[in-house]
A and B are shown apart, each in its own frame.
Chain A
Amino acid sequence: MKPNIPISRREFFKQLGKIGFGIATLPPAVVSLLEFHQSIRAEDKKFIEALYYEKLGGGKIKCTLCPNFHIYKPGDVSFCFNRLNQNGIWVSSAYNNPCTINIDPIEKGPFNHFLPGTNALSIGVGGCNLRCLYCQNWQVAMQKPERVAICNFTKDDCADALLKKECRTICYTYTEPAMYPEYLKEVAGFTRKKGVYNVVCTAGFVNPEPLKDICKVIDAFAVTLKAFNDKFYQKICGQTLGPVLKSLEVIKNQKKHLEIINLIVPSYNDDLEIIKQMCQWVKKTLGQDVVLHFGRFYPEYKLKSLPPTPAKTIELARQIGLDTGLKYVYTFNLAPHEGNYTFCPSCKEPVIKRLGFKVLENNLPEGICKFCGYKIPGVWK
């Protein structure tokens, strides 16, 4: 039997220090272990080499996909979560790894001038290069694709699903499709040859070159112009306004169908004067035929304490858009509402009546107003 030796004060503090050190080093150890596990998983997933990057010395790379031009050392994961540096090779973890596959009405994009009343195969992949405090898809947008992926979904699977679900369109949405150009281009290029339309919902924070490449396989864009205010972009979305405006111009110059989305967050971007400036810029730079949507904010993510946007604010914004001379200004996340309808700019008749995403009546066969014959821009057949 061991004698009961009392521990000295020095020994006691020594032991206490060891325990403290152990506790302090535990979290980094767990993190390293998780990362190691993840890197094994990453290799299992057969990620492909990413596009748009430059190799720097010492295994470092510079990502040229988005205007952040971040530099990453081996083992780093990109700010958008979609890419990682595997020993000096920049790989995409988004490839074939969607986190959401749904059959949605195309109006949910929102697209109001694109095959109204049809369904789209909507695909989302984890990750995003913005950090919007009111993100409604934060559960997947703030995650690495491989962590939230639901299945291995290849271009062939997409084509198969389109056929089974009788969809004519694939919509890349929910998160930031511009951050997975490898997957997007492959699926869109493949399905396009089969007569399928491909559309993208994006925040537009991407460099012009990758965007131009994306434009080659995409038929329409819904771009979220979050505010016409750089401070809002910096403080609420974690990025800047300039590149988004540039993207809008690129899409316009590439002659792609474009719909702009502006979600009005009460107290943050509901200044009607700034909304007016935005409408004027849209008209001057992109033309009065560009579709503009004003949407109602619902409390989400880190802005849960805010109330939903008052209907009146959305109505006023829409009116400003129309008064500015834009021909097609809509409201979304606010239904039933007159702003859900498409009105003919010539005879003022409602040519498409909607209840939210549902088309109730379509008097616009092939984009021609049934009442006066006016041609409305969009993709209609």
Chain B
Amino acid sequence: MRKILLISGCVSVLLISLVFSYAGEQCCPEKKEANEASIKHKKPFAIIEDKIEELFEEITLLNLINGLNLTEEQIKQIIQYNNEVQLLREQIEEVNNKTIQKVIDAFSKLKSALEKNEGIPKDIERYAAMMDQENKEIKEGMMNSVAAIEKELTTILLEGQIEVINTFEPCLIPPKNLKDPVRAGQAQDSEQGLNLLRRVRKIPQEIFDQDKYEIVERHLEMVQKHTGKLTNEERKTEAERLLKVMEQARAMSDKEFELNGPDLARQFMTESKKTCKKDKELREELERIHQTRRGGPTRIGRYLLNPRILPILGKRLEMMKNPKTSEPKDLDKAQPK
């Protein structure tokens, strides 16, 4: 339970920070400095939280890199593009440093005028608007330059790698499809929920009629551990859907169940996840809107042009240059049974 809370907490923190802070923070050196200064005044707990967040981001990036099977050449190119972006950020920060003082000046004058509540002088109003626009343009310029590099970066990736990035979710423990994917010729593709439906099928009708609501209730409790409390309406819809799937599974013959069981299990589990990941979906929607409106980096840019990925890729490159070699085993000692 604590682990789940920790993971979901970290996911929220990371996503929010990725969506809102990444581009903005890189563009605003004053914000960065302020952050650094604030660290000195931070309480130990906040520092630990930051460290956890940083570690989580690094673990997420490692999980992604492990799932991409990048070649040596691709890694070298990503490092090159990433360095370009970091250089660009530094250059823009320099320009921004000069502008930012003017922005502060303009906004301070506007604030004073508003505090007096005697109307805003036209020149102050115009100056504040102009500086605000200039500030935005610098940020947009930065975004556009990063987007152009990201476009080039995309061309070195395989379609499969792009799909993996686009469907990847920040995580501590890599998902099954990355950690232990279904293999060629493998019979057991343990579909989540299939075993549960198998057990449900075996329950005698009388007992099922008695216990079905309890089964649903337990499933909903499990779901809520991931999502937080569901609304009454959500619970009702979800309970009705789960009951329907269970009834369907029970009504099937053995042959029908073997053929359709995995689909039903998917419905049982995945649909639940859909209902329950509403806020996550909202965040993703927000992310997409943000990316379209501001022209900021897509997932590819956010992950592969993230400065934190540089040391990870550096180490990976080293490992590739000095691969571990496996000692040949003595076949005489291996005995089939």
Contacts and interface: CB of A to CB of B under 8 A. Distances in A.
Contact of B184 (A139, A237, A333): A333
Interface stretch (B156-164, B230-238, B240-248): B156-164
B331 A103 contact: no
B157 to A, nearest CB: 9
Contacts of B71: 315, 338
Contact of B254 (A103, A151, A268, A340): A151
Contacts of B337: 131, 302
B335 interface: yes
Contact of A238 (B327, B331, B332, B336): B336
B332 to A, nearest CB: 7
B62 to A, nearest CB: 15
Contacts of B328: 267-268, 271
B259 A164 contact: yes
A360 B163 contact: yes
B185 A110 contact: yes
B182 A133 contact: no
A322 to B, nearest CB: 15
Contacts of A174: 185-187
B221 interface: no
B68 interface: yes
Contacts, number: 136
Contact of B336 (A133, A164, A361): A133
Contacts of A103: 259, 262
B331 A336 contact: no
A336 B336 contact: no
Contacts of B334: 133, 235-236, 268
A38 interface: no
A136 B186 contact: yes
B327 A267 contact: yes
B320 A312 contact: yes
A190 interface: no
B258 interface: yes
A153 interface: yes
- Name which of B182, B185, B262, B336 has the most chain A CB atoms within 10 A of its CB: B185
A101 B180 CA distance: 22
25 contacts: A100-B187, A101-B255, A102-B187, A102-B262, A108-B185, A108-B186, A110-B185, A136-B186, A136-B187, A137-B188, A151-B258, A174-B187, A232-B331, A235-B332, A238-B336, A268-B329, A268-B334, A302-B337, A311-B69, A332-B184, A335-B69, A336-B160, A337-B69, A353-B159, A353-B160
Interface of A: 99-103, 107-110, 124, 131-133, 136-137, 139-140, 150-151, 153, 157, 161, 164-165, 173-175, 201, 224, 231-232, 234-238, 261, 266-268, 270-271, 293, 295, 298, 302, 307, 310-312, 315, 332-338, 340-341, 353-357, 360-361
Given A173-B185, A175-B187, 13 more contacts: A101-B255, A103-B259, A108-B185, A110-B185, A131-B336, A136-B186, A137-B186, A150-B254, A153-B255, A161-B255, A235-B336, A238-B336, A310-B326
Interface of B: 68-69, 71, 158-161, 163-164, 180-189, 254-255, 258-259, 262, 320, 323-324, 326-329, 331-332, 334-337
Q: Which 4 pairs, one residue from A and one from B, show the smallest C-beta to C-beta distance?
A: A336-B160, A238-B336, A355-B160, A174-B187
